[in-house]
Amino acid sequence: MASPIKVAVIGAGRPWRTEGATGFGMSHRHWIGFKETGRAELVGVCDLMVDRAKAYAADHNPQARTYTDYTEMIRKESPDYVCVSLWPHLHAVTVKAVAALKPKGILCEKPMDVDWDAALAMHEACVAHGVGLMINHQRRFNKPFLEAKRLITSGAIGKLVRLDSAWHNFQDSGTHLLDMLFNLNGDEAATWVLAQADTRGGRKVFGALQESHGIIDFRFANGVRACHRAGKDYKDLGCIVRATGETGVVEIVEDGPRWIRVRQDGGGWDYPDTGGESIHDDAAIGRGIADFVAAIEGNREPLLGSRNALRPTEVIFAAYESALRRARVDLPLPAAPSALRKLAAEQGTEF
């Protein structure tokens, strides 16, 4: 029988669409994902707002102890896994501090951070301390995306030649789709990025500025081309992900009930059965966490590990750099703060 695992949470919040909620309540979903392993015990909850930490414990395990200092919590509770669900600008500094205390693994909500050098540093800190780091790009485990991956890998649309995606922005929702493009192309590295972004009319999401309109064109090392579109007109693509092969196309749509479709050149659409599961189903979080725990215990790379997450993150920050320079950016991208601040200032947008 597999041994129990102890879990601690940093950043309680309130569940989505409940009184007092200020976001999606992802830390609640993280814990539920760990609970679904059948082995997890919630031992600690940390939040600067004591009432929220206590409410979280009451929801999930009244015996869990509450804290306002996460280093104290980790030292006293010695958790195997720590969930970090804070605003993005706090991700790297928190993950680095937690990594130094050496739990087995850290689950951090996406995006990695608001700066490229910070994203690199949090990954490198976990590698240096031998701590697994998972970034919650959980949609890789939603059944429509799993089926798209299976179709492409099986050759159902011939050799993959192009990938397209479209959603609200680059770094918040867009990070999921950019990560998906890498997933569908076998996590090949990108070689260059050419992009533009308009910050005018943008908005802050959990404290991080998101552009109002943008486009990222990039190339993978295996020659596949990709393009991500962001902005209010993102629905003009007709889907949120499109994979084009030499003999057919696979598309993922944002709204069901038919979430995935595939067609051969000259033929009509077929709609693979995904059991009614959507691209938004929380079941993917549990699957991602199960893979993470199995990977840590099996000494292998998790599918949602930070090494994979760095690839789309690099493309995002290279896109801001390209927009600022008005030129193509060749990868790898040197460690540096995000160019988005300078770009926003140049465009007259308050960051």
pLDDT per position in the chain (351 positions), as tens? 588 999 999 999 866 666 665 667 899 999 999 999 999 999 999 999 999 999 999 999 999 999 999 999 999 999 999 999 999 999 999 999 999 999 999 999 999 999 999 999 999 999 999 999 999 999 999 999 999 999 999 999 999 999 999 999 999 999 999 999 999 999 999 999 999 999 999 999 999 999 999 999 999 999 999 999 999 999 999 999 999 999 999 999 999 899 999 999 989 999 999 999 999 999 999 999 999 999 999 999 999 999 999 999 999 999 999 999 999 999 999 999 999 999 999 999 987
Copy the structure tokens of residue 210: 């998101």
Domains of the chain: 5-137+294-304 (3.40.50.720), 140-281+311-344 (3.30.360.10)
What was the pLDDT predicted at 25? 85
Task: Give the global pTM.
Answer: 0.96
Angle (nearest 5°) at CA 229 between 225 and 230: 155
What was the pLDDT predicted at 27? 95
Can you list the positions of beta strands (E) in 248-304? 248-252, 260-264
CA distance linking residue 135 with residue 113, whole number of Å: 11
What was the pLDDT predicted at 17? 64
Residue 351 neighbours by CB under 8 Å, 6+ apart? 209, 340, 341, 344, 345
What was the pLDDT predicted at 351? 73
What was the pLDDT predicted at 16? 61
The SS3 assignment for 97 reads helix
What was the pLDDT predicted at 21? 52
C-beta separation of 191 from 220 below 8 A: yes
DSSP 324-343: HHTS-EESSPPS---THHHH
